[in-house]
Each structure stands twice: as C-alpha cells, then as structure tokens.
Amino acid sequence: MTIKEIKELLNSEEVNEEELIALRQDSRSGVQKLLQSYTRKQEKLAQKKTEFLTRFKYEREFWKKGQIVAGVDEVGRGPLAGPVVTAAVIIDESFDLLEVNDSKKLSPNRRWELYPKILEKAVAVGIGIKSPKIIDKVNIYEADRLAMKDAVLNLSQKPDALLVDAMNVPLDIPQTELIKGDAKSNSIAAASIVAKVFRDKLMDDYDKIYPEYGFSKNAGYGTKIHINALKKYGPTPIHRKTFAPVSNFYK
C-alpha cells in the first residue's frame, strides 16, 4: 500500500487488528508516523468515551429504579440585555453523543453542530424563557428558577426526578443539585448546550433589530462595543433596567 492509501485507511473507521499488525512491521518512517498519530487519536477517543460514560453516573441511579430523570440548566444570568433561557433534557441509555459536555468547554461551531443532534437523540426537550421585564420584577435568581420550572413543565414526559446545575427548581419533584453539574452529568450538559444555542439564536435576531449593540457577538454581555452603544444610544426595550450600568439611565 502507498503512504496515501495507508493514511486513508487509518482515517477511516474500517481498519482491523490484522492490518494494524502488518503496518507496525512496515519499515517506512512515513507509515510509522501515521501509526503514531493514529494511536494518539485512538487514545484520546478512548479517554473521551470513558469520561462520557462517567457522566452517566447520576442518571444511572434513577434508570436502575426505572425512573425518568431530566437534566436542567440555564444561560443568561449575567448579560445586560436579553432573556434568561433554560432547558430541561431527558436522555436514555441509547444517548451516544460523545462530544456533549459543559457548553462553556465547546466552541460555538461545535455547539451549533450538536444542537440538532441533541434534539434528535433526546427523549424529550423543554425550553423556559423569562424576559428582561420579569427579571427586573422578581430579580435574576428568581427569574432563573421560574424559567427552569417552565422548561420542566414543557417536557413531553413528566420526569420522576431532576438533576439541576447548582439551582433548585420550584416544583414538587425530587432534585439533585450538582455544583458544575454540566461537567458531571450528560443530561445537564445537553441542557446547557440547548439553552446556550437557543439563547444565542434569540440574540442573533435581536441583533437585526438593534444592530448598534453587537448582540450577535456579545449575546448581551457588557463588552466594550455594547457599553459604548449604550452610552451613545441608551437602553433598548430588551435591556435589564435593574442591571448596572443600564440602571443608571433610570435614576
């Protein structure tokens, strides 16, 4: 086989153990370099699989009892503009998206790639949204909790229990609160990605209405461009009046 053919073989998922043994005996330095690269990739993949399976730890406790568990997470507590968005996601043992992890650890492109796959693979997905008006009325923490409640209630199946990222949902359902839960539970991680992409899409739409503030780039967070636009044009209807420096305009 030529070096090019060997490279194509190793890049495919069809290489078998006999072929690997033969390649290890190939004296060409180019072949050995390709094998080293292939081995490193396989080791990384094996580690990723192990970590992924570990993140089913909490779900398995409920699955063993025949119970349905939903992961719940939020995005948008810190921005100066836009809503807070939450997601509740129910997955089962067939869920196999290895890339699913804490949304903050993933690139925007990877999140957008995973979003439709999660919607397809998940048993159920629910979304909750609370507007800046509600945030200003009840405070961001309570708005967050209410949005989580809506996300759970919007699921097509009622869960027996919830796994929540460091929050408590105002529902009479048993809950496990996990600090940095999106890095410990695949269902919370899936919820974090869904909430993040859903909110980013909303902010992209708002960017078309209020292009001066750079919402498609900053998602409503207080970047330099956003602050400068705020000083020049003042707040929009989607700004949070109780968040400084937006609040300065209402004194």
Top CATH class of 57-203 equals alpha beta
Run of H or E residues at 227: helix 224-233
Residue-wise pLDDT tens digits, 59-111: 999 999 999 999 999 999 999 999 999 999 999 999 999 999 888 889 999 99
Q: What is the Cα gyration radius of the chain?
A: 23
What does the domain layout of the chain look like in residue ranges? 3-54, 57-203, 206-250
Task: Give residue 148's pLDDT.
Answer: 98
Q: Are the C-beta atoms of residues 194 and 128 closer than 8 Å to each other?
A: no
Other CB atoms within 10 A of residue 189 CB: 30
Mean pLDDT of the chain: 95
Q: Give the chain's end-to-end CA distance (angstroms, integer).
A: 76
Torsion 19-53-123-71 (CA) sign? negative
Which residue carries 């949304």 as its tokens?
A: 103
Residue 133: both structure tokens together: 């008006």
Task: Give residue 126's pLDDT.
Answer: 98
What is the band of 251 on the pLDDT scale with cuts at 50, 70, 90? confident
Residue-wise pLDDT tens digits, 196-215: 999 999 999 999 999 999 99
In angstroms, rounded to a whole number, what is the distance separating the alpha carbons of residues 108 and 89?
20
| Phi, psi dihedral angles at 89 (to 5 degrees) | -130, 130
